């Protein structure tokens, strides 16, 4: 019976485009995840790790889109950011030189 339910769940996930990922987190990261999943949902049950990480991805995607709007385009050639390749790379006004740092994740 349980195997049937699990198979049905896997089929629903497959149809919905849901994929499973395995994460490697150290003890401190697991503790942070547990604390934040509860703290970010006060008065209710904590987010599941999957919900919390999914929300973080969605928030980061919005932030990335906003950063792209701010960066706009290459100051050298005018191509829209993010510029994937440019003959002017290395020039201080080329997005390939300054742009990646503006989009990189940092603490």
- 19 CB neighbour count, 10 Å cutoff: 7
The verdict on residue 90 lying in a domain is: yes
The verdict on residue 6 lying in a domain is: no
Mean pLDDT of the region 89-101: 88
State the Cα–Cα distance between residues 76 and 34, nearest whole angstrom.
Answer: 46
The verdict on residue 52 lying in a domain is: yes
Shared domain check, 76 and 56? no
Percentage of the residues of the chain whose pLDDT score is greater than 70: 99
Q: Is residue 82 pLDDT above 80, yes or no?
A: yes
Q: Is residue 1 pLDDT above 70, yes or no?
A: no
Shared domain check, 106 and 77? yes
Tally of structural domains, the chain = 2
Domain span at 55: 24-60
Q: What is the DSSP letter of 88?
A: T
């Amino acid at each position: 019976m349980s195997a049937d339910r699990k198979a049905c769940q896997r089929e629903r996930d497959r149809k919905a485009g849901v994929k499973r990922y395995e994460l490697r987190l150290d003890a401190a990261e697991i503790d942070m995840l547990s604390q934040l999943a509860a703290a970010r949902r006060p008065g209710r049950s904590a987010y599941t790790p999957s919900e919390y990480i999914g929300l973080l991805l969605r928030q980061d995607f919005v932030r990335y889109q906003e950063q792209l709007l701010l960066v706009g385009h290459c100051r050298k050639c005018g191509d829209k950011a993010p510029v994937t390749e440019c003959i002017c790379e290395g020039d201080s006004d080329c997005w390939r030189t300054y742009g990646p740092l503006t989009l990189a994740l940092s603490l």
